[in-house]
Amino acid sequence: MSPRSSATIRDVAALAGVSHQTVSRVINNNERVAPKTRARVEAAIAELGYQPNAIARFMTEGCTYTLACISPNLTDYTFASIMEGAEMEARRQGYFVISASAPDAQTFAQLVHQLVDSQRTEGLLAINPYIDERYTHLPETVPTVLIGAMARQAKYGAVALDEEFAGRQATQHLVASGHKRITLITGPLVEDCSSERRAGYLSALQAGGITPDPRLVFEGDWSATSGDAAIHHWLDTGTQFSALFAQNDRMAVGAIRALRDAGLHVPEDVSVVGFDDMPLASYFDPPLTTIRQDIFSIGREAARQLIWQIEHPAEPTPKLKIATQLVIRHSTSLYKEVP
Amino acid sequence: MSPRSSATIRDVAALAGVSHQTVSRVINNNERVAPKTRARVEAAIAELGYQPNAIARFMTEGCTYTLACISPNLTDYTFASIMEGAEMEARRQGYFVISASAPDAQTFAQLVHQLVDSQRTEGLLAINPYIDERYTHLPETVPTVLIGAMARQAKYGAVALDEEFAGRQATQHLVASGHKRITLITGPLVEDCSSERRAGYLSALQAGGITPDPRLVFEGDWSATSGDAAIHHWLDTGTQFSALFAQNDRMAVGAIRALRDAGLHVPEDVSVVGFDDMPLASYFDPPLTTIRQDIFSIGREAARQLIWQIEHPAEPTPKLKIATQLVIRHSTSLYKEVP
DNA sequence: ATGAAAGCGCTAACAA
DNA sequence: TTGTTAGCGCTTTCAT
């Protein structure tokens, strides 16, 4: 590795004819330095193009002002929005964030070790830690905020949607429209959010006096293809239904495609509610009725909470639930008795 | 800021009854240490849960093994994919990446200063540096790779699509299908990729013996709304056309929506080609014919190139063009004379 | 094979 | 107001 090239604090000091300590005072400009001296030092800094070395500062300050954010991937729109919110809030407070994608728990563990245990970062943002065993590798010694799942241990902070409320909200809209046989496509049920959204679905059915039928529930994997598969499953088994709640928009879109291929119309024959309000949700055919989550503020709140924990290590770790919103477009309509 | 808590190399040394230097040799395990000593040191490391402090290592090694990646935003699928590719390649080579979003040139300049000039990172990945004045703030002293645009200065590396080829590819498909009046919705023309894709469009027309008509070109802003606006513009001005090349999928989708609202059918009345092959492009109605770019490998190649430059500062900076691929779905068809 | 000494670039504590 | 002296935790000489 090539050595760093630029001028050090001592070079500046030599050129300005002062001690390096005076230069340090100037660059941390909260000290009392004689205006003349300051001017001389600043001239030297400019002449040499001097930049304080961040690493050396971290070394003496004992803080890197860097956060780690580990996500299953960087491309999912929801995850990316969370990271963008987190990054902007972090930066506002003088922190940067190293983002890394961990497809599996083992990679996650390795990343935690390299990024957090090595004291390279001051804290961890973990997106969706309960999709597999990754939650067993969460750091022990450093502030951590879980995103997209409530912390099962008290020591971690958390920011997540009110998933059950959201599931109820989506289902209620269908119930209120007169639908009785309402299907559900969940995400993988190992993920908390899937089962919580399902709990909301069940509670909305019960509130509407509808007895849940387990045959109307299909476990998908968030992909459009799995939405497609769900519809084929129900059609093949001759299952009757007039409405569908898909736990994300991708599965909803896949389902709509499969319905159309089967000659069914949305919303005339089947009403569909999605979840996420992803970009272009309003450009699908028909425009998607869906649950909107304020993902940007999830990231922002998570970063805010993490930095707060870093700077107030003794305080308890808060948990935050973010509300969702129903966006009604044209993929849902009132139930009409089939003749 | 709370002081770092964990054990240092000297604590381990004291416990193992050796000098801290011996511990250093053990943790960098390429040195010659007596097996017995090594075992003792390793026991002490385990007992104390000792982790080498990454910052102190950076300090002495003069390298942080960290890259900076600045993008206009983190949520655009293309940008996110590039970052994911870059991050994975970087990690494979022992580097991490700090990603930051810069909505404007001023933020970009500030980020470059804080991340790169402070020697916190070893190099910079700049996504779309020519969308505004940000290219004037590129670092002078540190390896930099531009993504999504060919470098106008020799000192920067670059990875980008072969935009002109891609524009030709899309247009050629329409020409070959018999279309004569082919409209174009560009991105902002200040961005190189927009004008290069347009150059490809023009060259394909000319190769097909079609005289370009400037009234058939509309400058959009990458949003679905601007695709919509383009169609309205042409419809309002009574412009005749049977085909459209939109320089990204979002604008294509917006245009298709506007065409449908106007009672026109895709592809029967108007054939549409998009660009990007974004997720779910095959789930729109009709499934979108589009240009697929291998965005993941753009990020990977960019990171590879940057690290190569960091580790071989004397070598010239390469420029790389990535080929695209036409994906034919159902938004395009052969031209049919209107009766 | 191991230890002692020096120093990376900076900040903090103490002197002058 | 300014300079001197120590160190931060580690790696890299150079001795032993």
pLDDT above 90: percentage of residues in chain B = 84
Average of per-residue pLDDT values in chain B:
93
C-beta neighbour count of B5 within 10 angstroms: 9
Residue-range domains of chain B with CATH: 9-61 (1.10.260.40), 66-161+295-323 (3.40.50.2300), 163-293 (3.40.50.2300)
- On average, the pLDDT of chain A sits at 93
When pLDDT is cut at 50, 70 and 90, the band that residue A33 belongs to is confident
Dig out the tokens for A109 from the structure: 């563990």
pLDDT of A2 over the 90 cut:
no
E strands along chain B, which residues? Answer: 66-71, 96-101, 123-127, 144-147, 157-161, 182-186, 217-219, 243-246, 271-273, 290-293, 319-322, 324-327
Say whether pLDDT at A284 is over 80: yes
The amino acid present at B329, given as its one-letter code, is R
Over the stretch B263-274, which tens digit does the pLDDT of each residue have?
Answer: 999 999 999 999
Q: Which B residues 54-93 touch A at CB under 8 Å?
A: 54-56, 58-59, 61-64, 66, 73-75, 77, 80-81, 83-84, 87-88, 91
pLDDT given at position B141 = 87
Band (A287; pLDDT cuts 50, 70, 90): very high
Query: Each residue of A114-146: pLDDT tens digit?
Result: 999 999 999 999 999 999 999 999 998 899 999
pTM: 0.93
Note which residues in 177-206 of chain A have CB less than 8 A from chain B. none
Q: What pLDDT score was predicted for residue A163? A: 96
pLDDT tens track for A36-95: 899 999 999 999 989 999 999 999 988 999 999 999 999 999 999 999 999 999 999 999
Residue A165 contacts B, CB cutoff 8 Å: no
Q: Does B64 contact A55 at a Cβ distance shorter than 8 Å?
A: yes
From the list B325, B329, B312, B334, the residue with the least C-alpha distance to B157 is B312
Which band of pLDDT confidence, cut at 50, 70 and 90, is reported for residue B33? confident
Residue B1 predicted with pLDDT over 50: no
The residues with which B243 forms a beta bridge, in sequence order, are B182, B271
Per-residue confidence (pLDDT) for residue A129, from 0 to 100: 93
CA of residue B65 relative to chain centroid, distance = 21
Question: What is the rounded CA–CA span in Å between residue B299 and residue B281?
Answer: 21
Amino acid at A261: D
Quick: pLDDT tens for A168-201.
999 999 999 999 999 999 999 999 999 999 999 9
- Asked if A221 reaches chain B (Cβ–Cβ under 8 Å), the answer is no
Tokens linked to A290: 């869906």
As a rounded value in angstroms, the CA-to-C1' distance for B9 and D10 is 8
What pLDDT, on a 0 to 100 scale, did the predictor assign at position A277? 96
Q: How far is CA A220 from CA A229, A233, A332, in A?
A: 8, 11, 21
- Spatial distance from the CA of A10 to the C1' of D15 (Å): 30
CB proximity B52 to A under 8 Å: yes
Q: What whole-number percentage of chain A has pLDDT above 90? A: 86
Residue nearest to nucleotide D8 (CA to C1'): A60
pLDDT, tens only, B188-246: 999 999 999 999 999 999 999 999 999 999 999 999 999 999 999 999 999 999 999 99
